Amino acid sequence: MALSPSTRKLLLKVSTATLTTQMLKRGFRNIFMAGVRPLHGTGANMVGEAATLRYIPAREDLDTVESLGSREHPQRKTIETIPEGKVLVVDCRGEVGAAGVGAILLARLKARGAAGFVCDGGVRDVAEAARVGLPLYAKGPAAPPNVTRHHAADSNVPVACGGVAVFPGDVIVGDGDGVVVLPPALAAEVAEAAVEQERLEAFLLSEVKAGAPLFGTYPPSEETLGRYRAKGRK
């Protein structure tokens, strides 16, 4: 199920915190990538469907600087063919001793029209990478080239990233807190519910700031909800 423009627009407005709450209500507990944080600074949300790349541990006879020149190298081929609007999600096994990506590859992803990059590993040339202007989420800086620790095994397969399962086509949303993964079939429903949740929580925050106690306010009682609904009709 493709991500519609209207759903994308809603997801650009809501926080990953709100999305995790909405997914919990639907029985999903493991959708937030552990330890994966924004390295590009804050700004608008990252939203896009997942394209995936899987790394396994490197082997010295295969993973050389020269191997990166092959047109069939899974990492390079994935970047050169990624469709516009996709988020590239890379399974680095949590390995932070080598880079999962660097500034030049990120610049190519941006030129291809990608919506962002996510990995549970390191980023090389991190200051320059952040200046590329592509939403960038990872565990932190890592100077060594990827081939020192990683072998790009395959792409467009299910992967793990930050302890979360990611399937090609999953909806990826990132903000200042991190990255969540939404099943495509639930994305529209969750996006609409998240927008309404944030409207309600803005009202509840104003109530608490005005001196209201937590009990009866957060979570809201029927009386509090009545005030919220009445305010919406004004």
Q: Cite the DSSP H helix spans in 12-98.
A: 16-25, 74-81
- Residue 30's nearest CA partner among 162, 167, 194, 164 is 164
Which pLDDT band holds residue 203 (cuts at 50, 70, 90)? very high
Average pLDDT of the residues in 32-41? 96
Q: What phi and psi, each to the nearest 5 degrees, are found at residue 5?
A: -55, -35
Please say whether the beta carbons of 49 and 181 come within 8 A: no
Cα maximum dimension of the chain:
70
Rounded CA-CA distance 178/228 in Å is 30
Average pLDDT of the residues in 111-129? 97
Examine the pLDDT at 233 and tell me if it is beyond 70: no
- Residue 186's nearest CA partner among 25, 32, 14, 17 is 25
Rounded CA-CA distance 161/195 in Å is 26
Q: What is the pLDDT of residues 121-142, one digit of tens each?
A: 999 999 999 999 999 999 999 9
186 is written with which tokens? 């639930």
Query: 161 has which bridge partners?
Result: 164
Q: What phi and psi, each to the nearest 5 degrees, are found at residue 229?
A: -65, -40
Examine the pLDDT at 36 and tell me if it is beyond 80: yes
CA distances from residue 14 to 108, 116, 139, 176, 189 in whole angstroms, order as listed: 28, 17, 23, 11, 13
pLDDT for res 96: 96
Q: What is the pLDDT of residues 45-77, one digit of tens each?
A: 999 999 999 999 999 999 999 999 899 999 999
